[in-house]
Chains A and B, each alone.
Chain A
C-alpha cells in the first residue's frame, strides 16, 4: 500500500501556529457526544486547533490519535500518529485531517481498544483493516484521499467516530465485550 505523499509530507510546522497542550476530556463529558459542522481547513482557528491536537497528542503517553471533541471542540478535526506502534503496517507519520469521511472499508477484524477519554474501560470493537478516507489537510486545505490498513485504519475509524460524537463504547461487540482496565499508561 503506497502512502499518500501529501499526507506523509504534512507537518504542523507549516500551520503557522504554535500548538498549546489542551486538557483531554473524559466521558461522560457532553462535549464528547457533540459532532461538529464541517470546517474551513485554512481558517486560523482550525490551524490553531490542528497544532493544539498534535501538541497534546505528543505529550500524552501512548496516544496515537486525538480528536477535537476530546479537547472540548465540536469540529471534525483529528490528529493521528501510529508510526511507532507495533501493529502498524502502512502509516503516514503525524498528520491532521479535517472533514474526513470513509470512502471504502473492508476486511473487518475485532480487537480491544482503549481511549484516553474512557480511562477505566476497554472494549472489543470490530473495525475495517483496509480503509480509504477522504479529507482535507489543515493549512493548505488540500483534499487528499489516503489508503491505509491495519492499525492506522483502526485509529482513523476511532478518531472519525469521535468527530461524529461516538466513543468505542458505542461500537462494542456485545454485553461482555467491555472490560475494566487494569493497567494504565
Chain B
C-alpha cells in the first residue's frame, strides 16, 4: 500500500499566463490534493508555493513538473515535508503596518521588537512603490504580552528609521 505524504512545491520565475493551470494539471494527474497554496507577483516575477498531499514521491512530482522548467524561465522545487499541526492558542492576533521613505533595514528593524516579545509573524507583505516602502505583517502575540511596551519599541525603531508604524489588533467579529 502506498504511503500518503506531504510535499512543498515552489515555482518561481518569469510570469506568463497558464503557469498555475499547467502546474496543477500535472499534480492532479498524479492524484495529489492541494492542501494550501499562495501565489503572488514579486516585482513582476511569478512566485507560488503550495503544499499537496498524495502517494506520489518527490521524484515522480519533479518529473511531472519538469516541462514547466524546460525553457529555463521557471525554477521548480519539490520537497517532502512533515505534517505540521497548528496548536490552538490563547494569544492574540495583530496587524503591524510600517510605511515611509525607502531605505535598507526597515523590515529587520521593525520586526526585531516583535521577535523579542515572542511574537510570531504569520503573514507578511512588503512593497516598494516609487520611494514609498510598505510593510504589512500579521502576527500572533503570546498571552500576557505587554502590547504597550511592544508598541513603544516599534515606534522607537520606526522613529529611528524615519518611518511611521501602526500596531492594531486583528480582531474578528463572529456573526
Contact = CB atoms under 8 A, between A and B. Distances in A.
Interface of A: 62-65, 85, 87, 111-116, 122, 151, 154-155, 158-159, 168, 175-176, 179-185
Interface stretch (B66-74, B89-97, B157-165): B89-97
Q: Which 7 A-B pairs have the closest CB atoms?
A: A122-B172, A158-B175, A112-B172, A114-B174, A114-B172, A62-B174, A65-B175
Contact of B123 (A65, A85, A158, A176): A176
Nearest to B88: A184
A165 to B, nearest CB: 16
B174 A63 contact: yes
A3 to B, nearest CB: 20
B140 to A, nearest CB: 7
Contacts of A168: 175
Contacts, number: 57
Interface residues of B, number: 19
A154 B173 contact: yes
A113 B173 contact: yes
Q: Of residues B140, B170, B175, which shows the largest number of chain A Cβ atoms within 10 Å of its Cβ?
A: B175
A182 B140 contact: yes
12 contacts: A62-B174, A63-B174, A114-B172, A122-B172, A154-B173, A154-B175, A159-B175, A175-B39, A176-B125, A179-B138, A182-B91, A183-B91
B171 interface: yes
A176 B122 CA distance: 12
Contacts of B171: 112
B108 interface: no
Given A176-B123, A179-B138, A182-B140, A151 B88 contact: no
